[in-house]
Amino acid sequence: MTDKANEIAKMCGIYHSTASVLTIVAANAPKVDHGFLEPRVGALDLVLMSIPYSCPDGVLGKVDIYWVYPYSPQAEPVNSRAWTLQEGMLSHRILSFTSRQLRWKCNTTEYLDGGFDQVSDGMPSIPNNADRFFHSQWENILNIYCNRDISDESDVLSAFGGIAEQISKNCGLHYIAGLWVEFLEAGLCWKRVSYKNRRVPQKYLAPSWSWASMGNTSCREDLADDMLSDFYHDLRFSDSFRPKDNLVASCIKLLDVRVLPACGISPFGSVQDGTLNLSGPMRQATPLSLMPSPLQSGDHSHEGHCGDPPATISAFADSVVDCNKVDGKIWMLYVQRGHDSRWAQGLLLTPLSKDGEVFFRRVGYFSISCYIIDHHKPVSVLQDTEMQTVTII
């Protein structure tokens, strides 16, 4: 185990235990070698008008009315880096030097030294239990993390390990390469939605069924139609993360899962291998259901129609470049379904041989829904499927 890996594995204890009494954050420093004790960016940036004012001593003065630009702590350079999310979420006390003010934050309160009204730093909290709010909290944490930059993609799981370790301790959940065993179905149903900069990581990062296999999924673009944000979240998680009064049911059965940590001991860091053995309903994707194939188009998704009764399929490729290599041999594994089986979602898989055995690799995500023509006629999107056992790597 290298010194780097050994120290990374301690991050949860360093930030969240008594080892760290106070975390000092150079929030306004764009790089580790950049200073942070610099003149603050002024709040009074633009004079709208000046009003003459006669002082009590007879001196003629003026009152300037300024335009104050909105300030968001999330815009500080520190909040663009993946590694720093865990220090913000795990630390009990933080003294943060921002570009416009000094901020103090602890578990109970937050203070500023002036300059602006109270503005939340937007830092998510660590879930304390796996209740009905856990799904939305976990989704929010992942969306924030996946939209941050990381210089070395091989650190995508390591930089997140401290957060995952503390959640595991708080909620009693079992962590496997970015997913929770107890919420496996929802965790598997992530998708990539950006049609730009979709590339394949140059090295192995995680099993194909994990969102971490995509590496750094942030895609920064100018969104002319969106005045509220300059960031586009490439990675999206299924709506099934949110409880819907038991309207969603599992289609799969977990038989076995094995993840081999890269460093040998920490289950929350980088991994060098991982397999998922499942049984569930499958069918081969026909040209009719996936034509023109999203795996060979430059579009971010494709919607097709098939079946009797007719059904609509929306497919999202994990990577256009990678999926072009599968030669159309695509299987659909149904992971979740609606309570009436008129809707389902799952994984697009392609078979491959390894050491004389047949495995599957994830290449995309799909959702399928039936047209409701006759409410009294039973229909199911699971028709023409067969229960099969697969091992996904």
What is the pLDDT, as a whole number, of residue 180?
94
Give the residue among 292, 12, 283, 253 at the shortest CA–CA distance from 126: 12
Measured distance CA(130)–CA(344) in Å, rounded? 24
- Summarize pLDDT for 67-116 with one digit per residue, the tens: 766 778 888 999 999 999 999 999 999 999 988 888 899 888 888 887 66
Mean pLDDT calculated for residue range 115-127? 76
User: For the chain, what percent of residues have pLDDT higher than 90?
Assistant: 33
**Over 60: is that where the pLDDT of 219 sits?**
no
Residue 292 — pLDDT band, cuts 50, 70, 90?
A: very low
Name the E strands within 98-230: 102-105, 110-112, 175-176, 179-180, 190-192, 218-220
In whole angstroms, how far apart are CA 383 and each of 76, 342, 379? 52, 10, 8
Residue 293 — pLDDT band, cuts 50, 70, 90?
A: very low
Q: pLDDT: is 81 or 339 the higher one?
A: 81
**CB distance 306 to 285 below 8 Å:** no
Q: Collect all residues with Cβ–Cβ distance below 8 Å to 73 and sequence separation of at least 6.
A: 27, 79, 96, 98, 103, 119, 120, 121, 122
Alpha helices in the chain (DSSP H): 3-8, 11-16, 85-90, 134-146, 161-171, 184-188, 320-323
**CB distance 189 to 135 below 8 Å:** no
What is the pLDDT, as a whole number, of residue 94?
93
**CB distance 74 to 144 below 8 Å:** no
pTM for the model: 0.81
**Over 50: is that where the pLDDT of 216 sits?**
yes
Tokens 């301690």 identify what position? Answer: 10
What is the pLDDT, as a whole number, of residue 369?
85
What is the pLDDT, as a whole number, of residue 234?
60
**CB distance 353 to 360 below 8 Å:** no
